[in-house]
Chain A
Amino acid sequence: MTFRARHLLGIEHLAPEEIRTLLDLAETYVDLNRRTIKKTDVLAGMTQINMFFEASTRTQASFELAGKRLGADVMNMAVAQSSVKKGETLIDTALTLNAMHPDLLVVRHGNSGAVDLLAQKVNCAVLNAGDGRHEHPTQALLDALTIRRAKGRLHRLTVAICGDIAHSRVARSNLLLLGKMENRVRLIGPPTLMPSGVADLGCEVYEDMRAGLEGADVVMMLRLQKERMDGGFIPSEREYFHRYGLDAEKLAHARDDAIVMHPGPMNRGVEIDGTLADDINRSVIQEQVEMGVAVRMAAMELLARNLKAERGREAAGVMV
């Protein structure tokens, strides 16, 4: 078992072995979460603070539930409405929190790299719950667990990621994770929503959705991030749905047993046909949400373990 990371800031710095360790541990939590009594004491006595600079419902709830099931004391800071509005800088907010001695800090922020910056200033373990367009590591991990359970493996699969790649941290983290686990990744979307130079990151880029879906084992749809658009990326939502929205006809180009994923929240009728999203034979969207709690429990347990070990070493050092 290997997991060395001190923080979970992104997939970029994780080794394949660390990813495997985390997913294996998450499996045990999937079982636990299906029982009536779900509580463990892995994080008993530890404090978890959720700090969401960007509004979030599902990710925040998932982290909160994960922490509570592990026995941590969980606090939600509604930073978006408080100190930031009073002009406090990110670093000052971090230092203030640090003084309260949290053990796990879960952070979402609208700027790429903001969570990295914050992690440099605190003594606890930091989990990135999404930073700008950079990374959303727990989303990629829960997607990986969902794929592994549905397909029986997490390697040598063809995964098509479709939609608004440019604004998506989910796409970046998934691209990195699936690449590390030796899968074939295809990115599909209109060129205005495709980040430049992305083909050099080890994936194939398609502008034609049908061609891109050909033979895919996994079809991962992304949300059209209306809030990140200053306009002019696509002509209209109806034209977008016509060319890049997933419906039964386009899905027929993928393998017959291809699964359909979506990180949520969905824009039904914009990037995905509503009926398809609800089709329990193809869609694993609900399972993704379930895996989310398990993966976050696993991530927090591993980070807490490393944190305890590190503090133990420091204490021993002081004694000598």
Chain B
Amino acid sequence: MKRRRLVNHLMTALCGFGLLLALIPLGSILWLVISRGAPALNLDFFTQLPAPVGETGGGVGNAILGTLSMVGIGCILGVPVGVGAGVFLAERGNGRTGDAVRFTAEVLSGVPSIVVGIVAYGLVVLPMHRFSALAGGVALAVLMIPALARSTEELVRLVPGSLREASLALGVPQWRTSLRVVLRTALGGIVTAVLLSIARAAGETAPLLFTALNNQYWNFKADQPTASLTVQIYNYAVSPYQDWHQKAWGAALVLLLLVGALSLIAKALARNRFGTAR
């Protein structure tokens, strides 16, 4: 009796210790990024172009815009494909085709992101003869698709079969049932999955190096090289200038906030996944 309680306390303590160990790196990253990055933040940082070497001031406005626009392109290309593939897998994916698609998604999600970058380079950059936001978006889309497909499949499968039956029994054709009942019911979860995959894509550097490259100026065209937060961080961080290091920390903080905000929104949405109507 006493021994059992002792063991129980010991195990609880061990678990707590493990948790603490895991939290240390996370906490130190947060602390480091916030403490180093916060001084760099001001209005100009969000709205101005990067200043040339030696000049003070300037910002990463174009990189923020670039990241947002490329993630946007990635979403436009990747979300329909990923979600569509997921719905297909869940609804019709029990045969050979389904297995093949699932296997492909599995492999694709295991491919290092730099390889995806090279593929996008071959697919978009070479034929267009230039680096572009579009190429970056394609690379991000390819990264998003497999994870999105698998999580959509899981979410659609979670929709109770009884709802599908209820709809079919009302004389609703299968495709409408899949779309307007099954997908509608899983929508909350799928939106969460999309937000999480966006957060992941926003943090990618490697696939953008070969595709969007970088740009010192504002770019509003999809077929032009584009700056992005991650590449900007990389460039600033590897530079020898103290001022740029400072800016790299600032950009890292902005990226962290962006991803953090997306995760929080995703969590909030996930909480009322089977949220009530209206």
A and B from one assembly? no
Interface residues, chain A, with chain B CB atoms under 8 Å away? none
